[in-house]
Structure 1
Amino acid sequence: MAAARKATKSYLLAWDPVRQKEAWRAPNPGIVNGGVLSTGGGLVFQGDGDGRFNAYSATDGRKLWSFDARDSIMAAPVTYLANGRQLVSVVVGFGGAVALVGGELVWDRQGPRRNLSRVLTFALDGRATLPVRSAPTRIPVAVVPAVGDAAMIEAGRRLYLNTCAVCHGAGAKSGGVLPDLRRSAALRDRAMFHAIVGEGILSERGMAGFSANYDPGKIETLRAYLAKRAREDAGQW
């Protein structure tokens, strides 16, 4: 999977509609990149998944300017006039369907991404700076006791793919927006795991309960699968 993540690239492509051919392309890191703004002044703005807000020449795709926004940019920028000043604003932050289900494929160079949402506005005479971004705290996956047999683990894997992967990531590896379940302390405690997944004791924090969908036996198969994934990846991100 790590090799697949390193090989996943993308690019911004400019298309000539008159000549019906590519005009230029600019490489982007990974697959999580932002929307595009083109201006009457011949500029093209786009943010990328590594947090760079870039301006290109609309004529040949040369990168003319770049700003470190210190978090992924997935939104499209906008430009407008305010009190006679031309401004460009963009929403910075990591999220959306790809960020949730993508798992390791959307990690940055240091592992799972954080989300530091903000709105940045730029002007030609702007002088503001961003605060220094602190290094993320990385907690490696801990070894947890095995739960269940091979058949139980396989049933849990299917349940995870059906219900959990869309938020907590492919292969039980979170992209970084929501918790990585391989690290959950609840994997060690059957009652706590069932209280969270079944009864929804963390529903106020966005984790709904699934007792109406799965009985305690099925929920235990999920714990078996996640415990296996934690044991496989112990010591990793």
Structure 2
Amino acid sequence: MPDTTLDEQTDKSAGPIIHLPTKVSRTSLIENGMLTLNEWGANHICKVCIANSGSCCRDCRHLLDGVGCQRRNTSCTAWLCGFHKFLLYEVGQLEEWNNFWHQVPGQDYREDFTPEYIVIDKALRRQKQTMEHLGEALAADLQEMERSHIAIGIIITLREKLDKNIDQLTTVENDPKKQIRLRRKIKVLTSGFERFHHLLKKYHEQQADVISP
């Protein structure tokens, strides 16, 4: 079985171009994960949280002040904050993300023991074109929320609430009533994301046009 990187195995149209399972490097897992998130604009959301003293990486020994992470690992790449979960949830990619990282061994808190090469049988789909504007719009909504609310730390509180509710949603697959209740709660929590929802609607319309006969 030949070694490969995830960029070699998947094209921008969202499908494997070589047969899975395949052997990939730990480094390529991390790089592909970061690239996938940034294609959705997740990095713009991080900047807002960091600016409001809500960095998820605070106090990590691998974080260099003013520079950033000095030792990326599979654990931190796979982990999603509430806003990143919400972003992938709304574009229909959260389950795929979770399934992809569940096959990667050796994840721990802020470090990993993942082997240098592993065999995977699931891949992350890549977009034909970047959807960075979605994350950028969500970041702009968060900035507006922070400016317009008196309560200190409003966006950090919202991030934790989204994290909790989306996690719960993924565990009640066999309970339609709980699913409906949680989806409604998530919708209420994010009702102020006007820019994001406007662009999200356009994204879903474009996706519908692509798959329609």
Q: Which has the higher contact order (CA 8 A, sep 6+)?
A: 2
Q: What's the TM-score once normalised by structure 2's chain length?
A: 0.27
Structure showing greater Rg: 1
Q: Which has the higher strand share?
A: 1
Higher helix share: 2
